[in-house]
Amino acid sequence: MRRRRPGLFWVGAGLMGLFATIALLGPLLAPYEARLPVGPPLAPPTDGYPLGTNDLGQDTLSLLIYGARTSLLVAVAVTAVSTVLSWGVGLTAGFFRPTEAPLMMLSDLLLALPSIPLYLLVVTLVGPSLQNLVLALALLSWPAFARIVRSVVIEVRSAPYVEAARSLGGTRAHVARRHLLPATLDLLPTKLILTVRFAVFAEATLAFLGLADSGSVSWGTMLSNAFDDPLLFSRPVWPWLVFPPAVAIVTLILATTWLSTGIEGSIGGVPESVGAAAVESGPHAEHTESREGAALTGPRRRSRSR
Amino acid sequence: MSGDVLRLAGRYAVLAAAVVLLNFFIPRLLPGDPLTFSSGEGLDASAPMSAAAKEQLRVYYHLDEPTSRQLLAYLGDLARGDLGWSIARPSSVGALIAARLWWTLGLLLVSLGVSLVVGVSLGLAAGRRPGRRGDRLLVSGMAALAAVPEFLVAIGLLAVFSTGLGWVPLLGGQTAFISYGGDASGLLSRTLDIVSRLTLPAATLVLVGAAGFVLVARDAAAGTQGAPWLIVARAKGLRERSIAVRHVLPNIAFPLTTYLALRLGALFGGALVVERVFSVPGLGLLAYQSIRARDYPVLQALFLLSGLGVLVANFGLELLYLRLDRRRGTSHA
């Protein structure tokens, strides 16, 4: 049954489309090459520089447009890798019993660690190139959904139709691909949206803490650079240094949040309230959802409702 | 009963051991020589380190020995509370962290307490009549707030209250270059100074933290509507406030505890980031400066301590969880 999607969903979808367009057409839209100093430093908005310039004389609007490319590139890459890992681990752990304990132990460990200190440690060590950043975020963000996928698989694997497929001689790989995988696909939209949001959030936060690819332009780096100036707030142009990247990050993140209102309640396998709470409860929802989901459907099941 | 506790303790002991081992193996397994980072090489190419100095460092960090011996040495150092020496500053890592720990911990605990109380109260109020306009507004507002990175909320508050209205000082943990008298009034004005400067960082963490509690408490409270015990409580004519506190709250303690346990790591991370915005001289600022200086031992210690800290806190919460579980099992079964 298809239910009517709320208006906010369409606002979110429209904004996401807008950001994607800006990112794709970046070089055509930007008035200048973002990294070149093209104007006087710290200029307020004028004809040539619609949003002013930063301390190096780079054009803020151009930086903003190129920053959208970085944010979305990181988001798409992290989401792709992380989703494949979540499903790979979840299906494997749910269906190939011997792998279950070690894989779940590993995901438990990654979920228990405070993520920001871990990112700081790993990304500082390997160097904050775009590629390393994507790998670090993806390799550390799969466990939540791996657990949920696994719990769905466990639910389904004893279903009559799966038993039938196996007794007809279906190989494990065949059953996993044709019968278990489809049962988990309801989770996919939620995973995609949450991970996109997580990646945007994490990229901006790490860049703000000084962990960004020095070769690429990013909204978080723009803010970090602004805050590097101890006299930032005594300069009359400070709003033009701080607000454009801040508003861009907030808008992109809210767009993903609004987008997720369209899929609330359609989360298969996970009890609706848990799914909804996770969708609503922010960037760390990756973590929330998994533990709650695991607590409700996994082996650590507890009597929550009587 | 005690079997549950033992199993839980075992689980957390394994997790803690894994954190300690990860801290040892991450720099050794990731590409690059640990020494390159531990010695700060590459930072300052104009002053390369002499071969003798390198060898000295190699011996100091036991890098000339096989990995198993290195691991033993590392565990031995840890057992003695030795976290190594900072690269960027003439100080041991332990001393650096000890000097800053209380800023972060204070900020974190105060904001956690306030956001718990505020968030749960709001959530209880909203969950009483789910679906109303006020409830819907609160839920969508809180969902949006919970999604925004902490440092952006911090920047927003800074822009409004510090630079805009000028109510609180801009940056720093306390006013620089001021000496207070040693007497009571000096202590008082110093305290007031610190409090006024920590108001905005704490408010940021409260806003972001409370949003999640509102959503969880509201969802759980809404789920209790129509429960027989609630109808009975209403029928007895109890006041709404005492119904909320005495009857609804114990029933939603479960999801709240779970959520709190999940959030601890994220809250700590949020405090680190917010400190950079407001230049609070805590662990967050230390982390930021250490990233800049590639002060690797400091970052390692931060990871180790926060990892173990979160595990200890989670262990405590899970014990609480067991207690709740037991109470629920006996009183309501």
Does the pTM surpass 0.90? The reply is no
Do A125 and B310 contact (CB within 8 A), yes or no? no
Instruction: Give the per-residue pLDDT at A282.
Output: 35
Distance from CA of B320 to the nearest CA of A (A): 14
The predicted complex's ipTM stands at 0.80
Chain B CB contacts of A124 under 8 Å are: 37, 291, 294, 296, 299
Task: Say yes or no for a CB contact (<8 Å) between A281 and B325.
Answer: no
Instruction: Give the per-residue pLDDT at A17.
Output: 93
**CA–CA dist A200, A182 (Å, integer):** 28
The mean of the pLDDT values for chain A is: 79
A65-69, A231-235, A276-280, B89-93 — which is least confidently predicted? A276-280
pLDDT tens for each residue of B131-159: 778 888 888 888 888 888 888 888 888 88
A109-113, A197-201, A272-276, B49-53 — which is least confidently predicted? A272-276
Do A85 and A73 contact (CB within 8 A), yes or no? no
Chain B CB contacts of A253 under 8 Å are: 147-149
Instruction: Give the per-residue pLDDT at B124.
Output: 86
Task: Say yes or no for a CB contact (<8 Å) between A114 and B268.
Answer: yes
A9, A106, A209: best mutation site toward chain B, by most B Cβ within 10 Å? A209
Task: Say yes or no for a CB contact (<8 Å) between A209 and B272.
Answer: yes
Planar angle of CA B97, B278, B281, nearest 5 degrees: 20
CA torsion sign for A74, A78, A81, A84 is negative
Instruction: Give the per-residue pLDDT at A293.
Output: 37
CA atoms within 13 A on the CB side of A296: 19
Instruction: Give the per-residue pLDDT at A128.
Output: 84
Chain A CB contacts of B219 under 8 Å are: 273, 276-277
Give percent above pLDDT 70 in chain A: 85
Chain B CB contacts of A250 under 8 Å are: 148, 152
**CA–CA dist B268, B103 (Å, integer):** 12
Distances (CA, A) of B181 to A78, A252, B177, B191: 55, 50, 13, 12
Task: Say yes or no for a CB contact (<8 Å) between A126 and B265.
Answer: no
Instruction: Give the per-residue pLDDT at B160.
Output: 83
- B151 closest CB neighbour out of A122, A197, A208: A208
CB contacts < 8 Å between A and B, how many?
177
pLDDT band at B328 (very low <50, low <70, confident <90, very high): low
Instruction: Give the per-residue pLDDT at B32.
Output: 60
**What chain A residue is nearest to B30 in terms of C-alpha separation?**
A126
CA gyration radius for chain A?
22
Nearest to A130 by CA among A58, A208, A82, A73: A73
Instruction: Give the per-residue pLDDT at A273.
Output: 36
Task: Say yes or no for a CB contact (<8 Å) between A210 and B292.
Answer: yes
> How is residue B159 annotated by DSSP?
I
A150 in B contact zone (CB under 8 Å): no
- Name, of A18-32, B20-34, B37-51, B157-171, the range with top average pLDDT: A18-32
Give the residues across from A53 on adjacent strands. A59
pLDDT at A283 > cutoff 50: no
Contacts of B101 (CB under 8 A, 6+ apart): B282, B283
Chain A CB contacts of B148 under 8 Å are: 250, 253-254
Give percent above pLDDT 70 in chain B: 86
Instruction: Give the per-residue pLDDT at A266.
Output: 40
Higher pLDDT, B121 or A127: B121
Distance from CA of B186 to the nearest CA of A (A): 28
Tell me, rounded to whole angstroms, the distance of Cα B134 from its chain centroid.
31
Give, to the nearest 10 degrees, the angle between helix A115-126 and helix B296-332: 150
Amino acid residing at A28 = L
Contacts of B301 (CB under 8 A, 6+ apart): B83, B84, B93, B94, B97
Number of Cβ within 10 Å of residue B155's Cβ equals 24
A116 in B contact zone (CB under 8 Å): yes
- B223 closest CB neighbour out of A273, A282, A283: A273
Chain A CB contacts of B156 under 8 Å are: 246
The mean of the pLDDT values for chain B is: 80
Chain A CB contacts of B146 under 8 Å are: 280-283
Chain A CB contacts of B254 under 8 Å are: 302, 304
B229, B299, B304, B326: best mutation site toward chain A, by most A Cβ within 10 Å? B299
Per-residue HEC secondary structure of chain A comes to CCCCCCHHHHHHHHHHHHHHHHHHHHHHHCCCCCCCCCCCCCCCCCCCCCCCECCCCCEHHHHHHHHHHHHHHHHHHHHHHHHHHHHHHHHHHHHCHHHHHHHHHHHHHHHHCCHHHHHHHHHHHHCCCHHHHHHHHHHCCCHHHHHHHHHHHHHHHCCHHHHHHHHCCCCHHHHHHHHHHHHHHHHHHHHHHHHHHHHHHHHHHHHHCCCCCCCCCCHHHHHHHHHHCCCHHHCCCHHHHHHHHHHHHHHHHHHHHHHHCCCCCCCCCCCHHHHHHHHHCCCCHHHHHHHHHHHHHCCCCCCCCC
Distances (CA, A) of A66 to A77, A111, A238, B123, B238: 17, 33, 21, 40, 60
**What chain A residue is nearest to B285 in terms of C-alpha separation?**
A209
**CA–CA dist A55, A70 (Å, integer):** 21
pLDDT tens for each residue of B33-44: 656 655 555 455
Task: Say yes or no for a CB contact (<8 Å) between A246 and B255.
Answer: no
Long-range contacts of B166-175 (CB under 8 A, 24+ apart): B168/B196, B168/B197, B168/B199, B168/B200, B169/B196, B169/B197, B170/A233, B171/A233, B171/B197, B171/B278, B171/B279, B172/B197, B172/B278, B172/B279, B172/B280, B172/B281, B173/B103, B173/B197, B173/B198, B173/B279, B173/B280, B173/B281, B173/B282
Instruction: Give the per-residue pLDDT at A176.
Output: 82
Chain A stretch 18-77, residues whose beta carbon is closer than 8 A to a beta carbon of chain B: none
DSSP letters spanning B47-116: SPPPHHHHHHHHHHTTTTS-HHHHHHHHHHHHHTT---B-SSSSSBHHHHHHHHHHHHHHHHHHHHHHHH
Long-range contacts of B312-317 (CB under 8 A, 24+ apart): B313/B261, B313/B264, B314/A112, B314/B12, B314/B261, B314/B264, B315/B8, B315/B9, B315/B12, B317/B257, B317/B260, B317/B261
* Span B239-268, average pLDDT: 83
Instruction: Give the per-residue pLDDT at A86.
Output: 93
Distance from CA of B239 to the nearest CA of A (A): 25
Per-residue HEC secondary structure of B227-259 comes to CHHHHHHHHCCCCHHHHHHHHHHHHCHHHHHHH
Task: Say yes or no for a CB contact (<8 Å) between B254 and A302.
Answer: yes
Higher pLDDT, A61 or B188: A61
Give, to the nearest 10 degrees, the angle between helix A115-126 and helix B253-278: 40
Instruction: Give the per-residue pLDDT at B171.
Output: 62
Instruction: Give the per-residue pLDDT at A275.
Output: 36
Chain A CB contacts of B309 under 8 Å are: 114
pLDDT tens for each residue of A167-216: 888 888 888 888 888 888 888 888 898 899 899 989 999 998 888 887 78
pLDDT at A281 > cutoff 50: no
* Span B92-115, average pLDDT: 89
pLDDT at B63 > cutoff 80: no
- B276 closest CB neighbour out of A209, A253, A280: A209
**CA–CA dist B272, B322 (Å, integer):** 31
Distance from CA of B65 to the nearest CA of A (A): 22
Distance from CA of A107 to the nearest CA of B (A): 11
Indicate the burial class of B238 (C-beta count within 10 angstroms; 0-12, 13-18, 19 or more): middle
Instruction: Give the per-residue pLDDT at A160.
Output: 87
Amino acid residing at B251 = N
Chain A stretch 213-252, residues whose beta carbon is closer than 8 A to a beta carbon of chain B: 223, 227, 233, 238-239, 242-243, 246, 249-250
Q: What are phi and psi of A141, to 5 degrees?
A: -115, 5
CA gyration radius for chain B?
24
**CA–CA dist B174, B159 (Å, integer):** 19
Give the residues across from B92 on adjacent strands. B85
- B212 closest CB neighbour out of A117, A256, A282: A282
- A121 closest CB neighbour out of B26, B147, B265: B26
Chain A CB contacts of B147 under 8 Å are: 197, 201, 253-254, 256-257, 282-283
pLDDT band at B168 (very low <50, low <70, confident <90, very high): low
CA torsion sign for A70, A73, A79, A82 is negative
